[in-house]
Amino acid sequence: MKVSERTKVIKPAVTLAIAAKAQKLREQGVDLVNFSAGEPDFDTPEHIKEAAIQALRKGMTKYTDVRGIEPLREAIVEKYQHDYGLSYTKEEVLVSCGGKHALYNVFQAILDQGDEVIIPSPYWVSYQDMVLLCDAVPRILPTKEENGFRITPAELQAALTPRTRAFILNSPSNPTGAAYDREDLAALSRVLEPHECLIFSDDIYEKIVYDEFSFYSIVTINPKLRERTIIFNSVSKTYAMTGWRIGYAIGLAPVISAAAKIQSQSTSNPTSIAQAAALEALRGPQDKVAEMVREFQKRRDAIVKNLNAMEGIRCFNPQGAFYVFPNIRPLLGKKAKGKKIESACDLAEFLLEEAQVAAVPGEDFGSAENIRFTYATSLKEVEKGCERIEAAIKKLE
């Protein structure tokens, strides 16, 4: 059977595939430590679930406005006013089936063949393939670990061309957890200001930050960029709602309208009752978020400390999200049971087989020397996983 050429230039989402494999092993009774999933282990807070139940009972079971119900779009506008002092209207908001879908729609709405998108690497797995699906060109811009996985203004300057249509800013980042502070954003914004490209600010981990780190929107730092920035966000990570599939894009009305047109001819509105739940997530009590972040921070501290104590592993201390992306270069070239570990992919496979620890190899995020561990699992599991990794890598010779 012939399938389109388009499907041949992209890869399936590897993180989802590994999570599925890990789940299967668990179902088979394997005592697996799952450091691969990109989702909080917490359940969705009760008041949010209750809002969905009430919506269902009240008969909120019909199509809604393609862009999302008005109260939810208003709540999103209020959130950005409240959190960052940014003024948007509900016409500048599109609610989609997850942040991923919002990004996909907007890419489809703005990219033509040959347009370039600057994607700093390590990057979240889907940006590149979404760009390819638009017949556009991903321009991968490697960051340096010694710069905290952040691109410098000079690196960004050198990457911008007249063909650059968009620049992706994902802070805190998946997979590194690196985040740009106020000064970093001000410096990048000075480089971006004279250009015409759009800025895609993927703020999905905005609330999951540690220590004294404060998240800023690049639009607050440089209001001149408001007309060129599309903000992406979602309830998935902040409220432990990955399965509900509600995310959104905020920005210029013409871009949002074009993206809504694409959504209207593909999925229509996101699920009505999930929208009711997202509304409660944004407008209801926020104390659970702080509780989850405190817990994530304990786990981050534990995993970073444990990994850095292992020979052959160097782990950057992330400011946000719930991932670590340790460098494993010294382990490459070593052997296990006569088999050489030649790549992060080999190491991930070795850890799955030898230690029953599931992780995602760095190649999928644009780095062959790193591996991603998610610590969105209990502290006990974090400790257990680290012990197993340590015991396994001691066997490498």
Ligand X SMILES: Cc1ncc(COP(=O)(O)O)c(C=O)c1O
We find the least distance from the C-beta atom of residue 64 to ligand X, in angstroms, to be 18
Minimum CB distance to ligand X smaller for 98 or for 326:
98
Minimum CB distance to ligand X smaller for 51 or for 240:
240
We find the least distance from the C-beta atom of residue 15 to ligand X, in angstroms, to be 7
Minimum CB distance to ligand X smaller for 39 or for 390:
39
Distances (CA, A) of 33 to 4, 199, 218, 232: 38, 37, 37, 31
Nearest to 395 by CA among 337, 346, 348: 337
Minimum CB distance to ligand X smaller for 236 or for 271:
236
Please report, as ranges, the residues that interact with ligand X according to CB under 6 A: 38, 98-100, 124, 170, 174, 202, 204, 234, 236, 242, 247
Residue 159: how many other CB atoms lie within 10 Å:
18
Burial of 113 from C-beta contacts in 10 A (0-12 / 13-18 / 19+): exposed
We find the least distance from the C-beta atom of residue 123 to ligand X, in angstroms, to be 8
Dist. CA 304–CA 308, nearest whole Å: 6
Minimum CB distance to ligand X smaller for 68 or for 247:
247
Could you tell me the two tokens for 170?
Answer: 């994902």
We find the least distance from the C-beta atom of residue 224 to ligand X, in angstroms, to be 25
Which residues lie below 8 Å from residue 4, measured CB to CB, with a gap of 6+? none
Q: Give the rounded distance of the alpha carbon of 270 from its chain centre.
A: 20
As beta bridge partners, residue 229 has: 199
Residue nearest ligand X, Cβ-based: 98
Dist. CA 195–CA 388, nearest whole Å: 49
We find the least distance from the C-beta atom of residue 99 to ligand X, in angstroms, to be 3
Minimum CB distance to ligand X smaller for 99 or for 251:
99
We find the least distance from the C-beta atom of residue 244 to ligand X, in angstroms, to be 9
We find the least distance from the C-beta atom of residue 55 to ligand X, in angstroms, to be 20
We find the least distance from the C-beta atom of residue 114 to ligand X, in angstroms, to be 25
Minimum CB distance to ligand X smaller for 247 or for 251:
247
We find the least distance from the C-beta atom of residue 121 to ligand X, in angstroms, to be 13
Amino acid type, 323 = Y
Minimum CB distance to ligand X smaller for 255 or for 396:
255
Minimum CB distance to ligand X smaller for 204 or for 355:
204
We find the least distance from the C-beta atom of residue 393 to ligand X, in angstroms, to be 27
Minimum CB distance to ligand X smaller for 242 or for 257:
242
**Contact by Cβ (8 Å): 18, 25:** no
